[in-house]
A and B are shown apart, each in its own frame.
Chain A
Amino acid sequence: MRQVSERALDAASAAGASYADCRVVNRTVQKITVKNGAVAAVELFEDEGVGIRVIVEGAWGFAAVDRLDGVSVEAAARHAVQIARASSRVNRIAVRLAPAPPLVGVYRTPVTRDPFTVSLDDKVSLLMRTDEAMSHQPQVRIRECSLEFVREERHFASSEGARLDQTIIESGGGLDATATSDDEVQTRSFPNSFGRHQVCAGWEAIDAFDLPGNAGRIAEEAVALLSAPVCPAGTMTVILDATQAALQVHESCGHPTELDRVLGHEAAYAGTSFLTPDLLGTFRYGSEHVTMTADSTRAPGLGTFGWDDEGVAAQRSVLVDQGIFTGYLSSRETAAAIGQVSNGTMRADGWARLPIIRMTNVNLEPGTSSLEEMIATTERGVYLETNRSWSIDDRRLNFQFGTQNGWEIVNGKRTRLVRNPIYSGQTPEFWRSCDAVAGPDEWLMLGVVNCGKGQPSQSMHVGHGAAPCRFRDVRVEPAR
């Protein structure tokens, strides 16, 4: 990898680049899916290539190629320079980078058991036991469970002298039980929806999920939802489970604190942000119970690493401090635009994509309450579990979420199961109405494995630590 990057940097400099960096990435992905009692797919993916980023005459250029021979790498470096030069003829403003020390080091995800050393037979066996545990509910017509493992070797080198090597390992798994009747379809998922829960960890994470041990209960819940009453409508108290709280954090805090969105870099696609720089340090984003951080040092989140993809060290930043908006996710270029230094959130979806600002582990810090206490002190409301749908506007204000499960709360008691709940609101009003967050004992490191952003599109794995939390006066209704 080092030979490739040295050759790329030399070629870029010789062609006229004033700055260049190079990422050589080798990614291996293993996916196993069992559906309705049969192995639906066992897929092994390998992916290797190099991405070269340059600044020439004040403009960016980037070229990537999957051929690591010297001729191809040098041609890619020269192509990146050609691209940058073409852009420089249109542009009027030169790129400026905030300073960052050129670092040298090695990082590896800490794992107890490397998932790639576990046999495929053992992995299939686990999924078949999970499937069997769901199979006792005839109304569950679609049973699907899966495992996914990722190993990514990353080498980063820059013309400023950075030389960084990382090995990131991810383990994920999950199950979906879909029950159908003549007029209804209901899906329940575990540990999270949309296929799986994934973390930067080894096989020990899969053991901890206990998919077979939870599969029967989840299948029963899917069937129960078919005949459950629809969710009541009205303005009421909402308690979110940790998985739904994590997605709420993702959409309404993670994305709007991305500084490239704030500066308009994503205006034509992902959108902008309501958290403009004039609000930094003074804007009341949430109640005093709400503290949110970006922490790429916090294992086992999917945003845990040694350095970001422009060589800035992993770190913890406070985005919202006891309700006050205090920080952004930034890069060297965007940080310079507001007189700061990068806090290390540039990430690329593999070698073929340009690093852009992405969430690392954006966390709702634990509070002092508990789910039990929150329910006991709620007169009328709903407890909502596991995301089913999500949507938010391009400035990240107007949101609507649906969840798989709802539990009606009456006079401090969790009463009946309700189906098709959705809730909606405006981001600051919603977080200002937060009056309780559960403590460290109920705080989980969760994540999102399909966060889309950028053109060409990039899909990123990001982490979110969250705990159950309570909100007052929220609009709730059933999906009709």
Chain B
Amino acid sequence: MARWEPLLEQVMRERAPRLLAYAAMLTGDDTEAHDVLQDALVRSFSRGRRFDHVNQAEAYVRRAIPSVVIDRSRKFRPVPRDPADHPHVAAPASDRDAVMDVRTALRELSPRERACIVLRFYDDLTVSQIADHLGLADGTVKRYLSDASARLAALLGADVDLREENTVPVTAPLAKGRR
């Protein structure tokens, strides 16, 4: 067995739920997340890189996921999935409403907007870093962030902090449905 195979197995056994969760946040679709993670694992382990530890491999696969999502969004049209494919496991009641709201709101965004929002607000990347990561122009990233922030502000309410000081202006909420 090649030395990469046990590490691939370990990543899939131990880290798949977390990686799938990250992919699901970027795709807005649990089944699509499985496809994305498969592609990200293949892409990451096919390059001949030496991973010394499962944490390093997981981090690499995680970094590959946004690019895979963007690539797939260019090639494939999203197909509505049956939510029953992956039964919902309830979170603590105190968090559930907010989480469901943000998940629903994220699904309203385009794949590129969603990727930019997650990389900016969850991964704390700068606009330039997002642009490099996704192969987009800085201005394009700013536009996606601005549009998506406005949409999320409208969907999630005024108490959600979407400020992007010195980077992305928060504009007034746009008319519903506009991209």
The finding on whether chains A and B are genuine partners in a shared complex, rather than unrelated, reads no
Chain A residues in the interface with B (C-beta under 8 A): none
Chain B residues in the interface with A (C-beta under 8 A): none
